[in-house]
Amino acid sequence: MPALATTASDPASSPRAPGRRTQKERRAATRRALLDASAACLVEHGYAATTTTVIARRAGVSQGALFKHFPTKADVLAQTAEHLYRQLVTDYLDHFDTLDHEPDLPIRLDRAIRLLWQMFESAPWAASLDLMAASRTDPELNLRMEDVVVAHATRIREHAVLLFPELSDHRDLPITLDLLFEAMQGMALSRIADPDATHYQAMLDHLVATVSTRLIPSPDTAPQGAHS
């Protein structure tokens, strides 16, 4: 028996019209628009003014649509933090790729640390600080932020090993990275109230020297003294 001919009106067999998005694509686009709107509100107006009403209005959707994607305000804000962190990492890697491919480890490490401080000086990082501070008195946000922060720290360590493979087996790399990030986070927070560029430049120079001393052995130091 010959197969039945498929008509053009059969939706199961008709090719999707150019420019028409699937429901999954529309949902993903709406979710992205909400996260972009939430991030922009945090950057421009801060945590207190970033309400679900403002986020939805900026994204061009109803509050009902927002809550279909994010059941609570804590959900949308925690996912905004993840959104901001991923963008910061992407921006860092993009900028790192534009640096000269310097084979000398001390020079590369110096440039990488100074570039990292530029990320901490950025408005998106300040917005993420708002969320971290807010989570102190918001148990629901705190619970969701914990997983986001842990995932971000893991991602950072993975990228550090990829960028500096010669340090991948250095026993002090994980704790030195943690110290570097904690120090820069504190500097970024202090800089909000005390924007003394000279002061932070001096601290940055000291951080570079400290990290380099810890991770790069001096010529008269045996390799086994610095590596596991």
Instruction: Give the domains, in start order, of the chain with CATH numbers.
Output: 22-70 (1.10.10.60), 72-226 (1.10.357)
pLDDT for position 204: 96
pLDDT for position 187: 94
pLDDT for position 192: 85
Burial class (CB in 10 A: 0-12, 13-18, 19+), 36: middle
pLDDT for position 72: 95
Report the pLDDT averaged over residues 171-189.
Answer: 93
Instruction: Give me the torsion for CA of 34, 36, 39, 42, rounded to 10°.
Output: -70
Report the chain's mean pLDDT, rounded to a whole number. 86
Contact 214, 172 (CB under 8 A): yes
- Which residues are CB-contacts of 85 (< 8 A; sequence separation ≥ 6)? 128, 148, 152, 155
Report the pLDDT averaged over residues 190-211.
Answer: 93
Region of residue 222 (phi > 0: left; psi between -120 and 50: alpha; otherwise: beta): beta
Q: How confident is the model at residue 219 (pLDDT cuts 50, 70, 90)?
A: low
pLDDT for position 62: 94
And the tokens for 43?
A: 């950057």
State pLDDT tens for residues 71-91: 999 999 999 999 999 999 999
Largest Cα span, the chain: 86
Name the most confidently modeled range: 20-24, 65-69, 192-196.
Answer: 65-69
**Residues of the chain with pLDDT > 90: what percent?**
76
Burial class (CB in 10 A: 0-12, 13-18, 19+), 24: exposed
Q: How far is CA 217 from CA 104, 178, 196, 203, 222, in A?
A: 13, 19, 33, 22, 8
pLDDT for position 33: 96
Report the pLDDT averaged over residues 179-188.
Answer: 94
pLDDT for position 220: 53
Q: What is the DSSP letter of 14?
A: S
User: From CA 190, how far away is CA 145, in angstroms rounded?
Assistant: 22
Length of the chain: 228
Based on C-alpha coordinates, what's the Rg of the chain? 23
